[in-house]
Amino acid sequence: MFSSVLSACVCGIESIPVHVEADISDGLPVMNMVGYLASEVKEAQDRVRSAMRNTGIRLPVKRITVNLWPADIRKAGSAFDLPIASAILGALGMVPAGRMEKVVIAGELSLNAEVNPVNGILTMAAGAKEMKCDCCIVPKQNAQEAAAIPGLTVIGVQTLAEVIAYLNDETALQPEYVDPEELLTQGETEERMDYADIFGQEAVKRAAEVAVSGRHNLLIIGPPGAGKTMIAKRIPTILPRLTMEESLEITKIYSVCGLLKKGEGLIRKRPFRSPHHTVTTNALAGGGRIPRPGEISLAHLGVLFLDEIPEFSKPALEILRQPMEERVIHIARNRGNYTFPADFMLAAAMNPCRCGFYPDMEKCSCNSGEIKRYLGKISGPLLDRMDICSEVPRMEYGRMAAKRIGETSEAIRERVSRAHEIQRRRYQGTPFRYNAELTPAAIGTYCALGKKEETLLSEVFDKLDMSMRGCHRVLRVARTIADLDGSDRIRTEHLSEAVMYRMGDRKFWH
């Protein structure tokens, strides 16, 4: 007898439908599995045999052939255990074939027939919705994650016996239901860190606010102990809350990587990734034998923070250049090409020299060659992609002793959220979401200047020997400052502030 079940495999972060077929015929008593399978999928036959035996099902002494097609796509992972078992049960006539139509099944089986969670369930559930399937049968621990996809019936199962009973209408398992909006907001706690904790450094906090408002790349330079890392690590406290669409985008990536916490159906906060400077290019960009997203993609719609950026390897830094522009990262392998999302804001902190005190030559112990080599670790093209460069001055004791409480993160977040809402309305119906994403062609439309502003920009362009990319970045930042100010057009003061944010790199690198 023959039976077929629909499942899915994850390729990159995309779901590809896989048909699991089972055929039972006369012949030598053997289970043969075909379809370009990884070793963990081939091992499924032993897990399925034991699980069925421990459920009280004896396989007949016949030849069992299991095929997973399309055969030209490599199947990996343990999520095929449950669909393989279901297909065999259908071929045995123990479950009706009609009940498995338009149903996607995924899950790992233990030897005692328990159904264990697997990675990538949200991606598979989204794929099931695109294939117009009615139902998903998934491990109970993954059910809340899959139920975040609206309009899809999700059945969470704990054992193989529950699957058999449900497919035979013997047990009415309740579909998993979650309110996505409630899931997105539940468990919200007050931030432990706050910009009010930082005394002084108002100019740098303003630079961080502008950067987050338009999702511009930010470079913070200053001596040791001035507060660079403190300011950068508080950026998550002023990031606007996620929308449902954004949360699903991020959760897909974390689901594929197995980074969702137990019982967490959706990612509720924007990512803030801070890899150590020893990170490899593969860990940063993604890759591996079976390509998986790297830190760049894990920071999608959030912040990638590189502390002491000159200490990172040059290949790791240079790999950032393409995704910073294109907002995606492409990985080519023999088995295929993979595209991962990479719409992140880069925040970086660094000392101006090895000892950290340049240009204060009374304290700096580095010679000119050492300073040049240290700053030279940040290449010109990468530096040109940093929209905002802000210098953190050394704090004076008097300002610290005054202990004046600064503006809270919540107050800053409100302004940032208003700026994001202005951009959302402005770019509705376009491929853009934030000012930092504007193309050169779009800049002419959305960043138009008056005569005074045009004259100022022309003078600055010649005086600073600015590149066209640098000029476009000044205009994008000026557009964000105007949004924070509630202005429809870019004014002289907005443009002047945006130009000021380009002066830090001029001071140290030119």
> Is the same domain home to 270 and 129?
no
Residue 116 lies in a domain: yes
**Exposure of 45 in the CB half-sphere (CA atoms within 13 A):** 17
Give the domain CATH number at 88.
3.30.230.10
Question: What pLDDT digit, counting tens, does each position of 243-264 carry?
Answer: 888 999 999 999 999 898 876 7
What would the mean pLDDT of 59-86 be, rounded to a whole number?
92
Give the chain's domain count.
2
- Residue 415 belongs to some domain of the structure: yes
Task: Give residue 29's pLDDT band: very low, low, confident or very high (50, 70, 90).
Answer: confident
Measured distance CA(168)–CA(102) in Å, rounded? 16
Q: What is the reported pLDDT for 208?
A: 96
**Does any domain span residue 230?**
yes
Instruction: Check residue 18 and give its pLDDT.
Output: 96
- 3-state DSSP assignment of residue 2: strand
Dist. CA 256–CA 118, nearest whole Å: 9
Quickly state the pLDDT bin for 348 (edges 50, 70, 90): very high
- pLDDT tens digits, residue range 372-417? 999 999 998 898 889 999 998 876 655 555 566 778 999 999 999 9
Tell me the residue range of the domain where 491 lies. Answer: 195-509
Helix (H, G, I), strand (E, B) or coil at 272: strand
pLDDT at 99: 86
CATH code, domain carrying 488: 3.40.50.300
Q: Verify that 150 and 223 share a domain, yes or no.
A: no
* Same domain assignment for residues 135 and 214: no
Residues 67 and 158 in one domain: yes
Give Cβ neighbours of residue 326 (< 8 Å, ≥ 6 apart).
342
Q: Is the pLDDT of residue 342 over 90?
A: yes
Answer whether residue 475 shows pLDDT above 90: yes
Q: Are both 368 and 220 inside the same structural domain?
A: yes
Q: Could you tell me if 155 and 203 lie in one domain?
A: no
pLDDT at 363 over 90: no
**Does residue 426 fall inside a structural domain?**
yes
Residues 150 and 225 grouped into a single domain: no
Last residue of a domain, one of 178, 204, 234: 178
Has residue 362 got a pLDDT over 90? no
| Residues 493 and 417 reside in one and the same domain | yes
The CA–CA distances, whole Å, from 457 to 253, 470, 471, 490 equal 41, 11, 8, 12
Same-domain check for residues 349 and 310 = yes
State how far the Cα of 143 lies from the Cα of 318, in Å rounded to an integer. Answer: 40
Task: Report how far residue 5's alpha carbon sits from residue 149's, in angstroms, rounded to the nearest whole number.
Answer: 21
Rounded percentage of the chain residues whose pLDDT exceeds 90: 64
Measured distance CA(18)–CA(15) in Å, rounded: 9
How far, in Å, CA of 84 to CA of 43, rounded?
12
Q: What is the pLDDT of residue 331?
A: 87
Identify which of 331, 178, 191, 157 has the alpha carbon closest to the alpha carbon of residue 251: 178
Beta strands in 72-120 (DSSP E): 103-105, 108-109, 115-116
**Could you tell me if 270 and 173 lie in one domain?**
no
Domain boundary among the residues 178, 210, 245 is at: 178
Could you report the per-residue pLDDT of 79-103, keeping only the tens digit for each? Answer: 999 999 999 999 999 998 888 889 9
Give me the pLDDT at residue 191, please.
59
Considering the domain architecture, whether residues 130 and 230 belong to the same structural domain is answered as no
In a domain, 189, yes or no: no
Burial of 189 (0-12, 13-18, 19+ CB in 10 A): exposed
Q: Residue 190 has what pLDDT?
A: 57
Neighbours of 217 (CB within 10 A): 21
Residue 183 domain-assigned (yes or no): no
CA nearest to 281, candidates 255, 249, 313, 305: 313
pLDDT tens digits along 223-243: 998 889 999 999 999 999 998
324's CB contacts (< 8 A; 6+ apart) are: 217, 346, 385
Residue 187 lies in a domain: no
Task: Supply the mean pLDDT for the chain.
Answer: 89
Lowest mean pLDDT among 196-200, 440-444, 471-475: 196-200
Where does the pLDDT of residue 189 fall: very low under 50, low under 70, confident under 90, or very high at 90 and above? low
- Rounded CA gap, 215 and 483, in Å? 13
Q: Is residue 291 part of a domain?
A: yes
27 token code pair: 């012949």
Residue 370's H or E segment, with its range, is helix 368-375
Does residue 208 share a domain with residue 158? no
